[in-house]
Structure 1
Amino acid sequence: MTVSVNRELCYGSGECAFRLPSVFTTADGFGAVLPGREDTGDDPEVRDAAERCPSQAISL
C-alpha cells in the first residue's frame, strides 16, 4: 500500500515527521514521505500517523 501526503491539505504541523521520522519528513514547510518509503502504507505505525494527522493530509 502506498503512502503520500497531499500538499493541498497539509498545513505543516510536522506531526508526521515527529511521530515517524523513518517514513516522513518536512519539505518546504509541508509534510512529505521520504524517498523509497512510499510503499510502507501497510505498516501499523504509518496507519497510526495517518489517523493522527491534524489536517488529514496523509493518504494510504
Structure 2
Amino acid sequence: MKVSVDRDLCYGSAECVHRAPEVFAFVDGFGVVRPGRDQTGEDPEILEAVEKCPSQAISITEAPRSAPDRP
C-alpha cells in the first residue's frame, strides 16, 4: 500500500501529524509523508489519519506490482 497527501487538497490542519507523527510531517504549512514512509501496510494510525483528515487530502492506494522476471 502507498500513502500520499494531495497538496492541492491539504489546508494544513496537521491532523495527520497528530495521529501518525512517524509517517507524516508538517512542512511549509502542509502535511507531507516523511521520506521513505510512503509504503505502508494497514497501520491503524495511518488509517485513522486518512479517516480524520478534514480536507480528505490523504489517500492510500495499492502500490504497483513489478512485472515478474522473465527467463
Report TM bin, short chain: over 0.9
TM-score (norm 1): 0.93
Q: Write the distance in 1 (CA, Å) between the matches of 2:53 and 2:41.
A: 14
Two-structure CA RMSD over aligned residues (Å) = 0.9
Runs of 4+ more than 6 Å apart = none
Q: Write the distance in 2 (CA, Å) between the matches of 1:41 and 1:57.
A: 19
Name which of structure 1's ranges 35-44 and 50-59 shifts more when overlaid on structure 2.
Answer: 35-44
Distance apart, 1:18 and its partner CA: 1.2
Name which of structure 1's ranges 38-47 and 20-29 shifts more when overlaid on structure 2.
Answer: 38-47
Matched with 1:7 is 7
Aligned length: 60
Distance apart, 1:41 and its partner CA: 4.8
Write out aligned runs for 1:1-60 (5 A).
1-60=1-60
Name which of structure 1's ranges 41-50 and 31-40 shifts more when overlaid on structure 2.
Answer: 41-50
Q: Identity rate of aligned residues, in percent? A: 63
What one-letter code is carried by the residue in structure 2 that aligns with 1:29?
G
* Structure (1 or 2) with the larger CA radius of gyration: 2
Point out where structure 2 has 5 or more consecutive residues left out of the alignment.
61-71
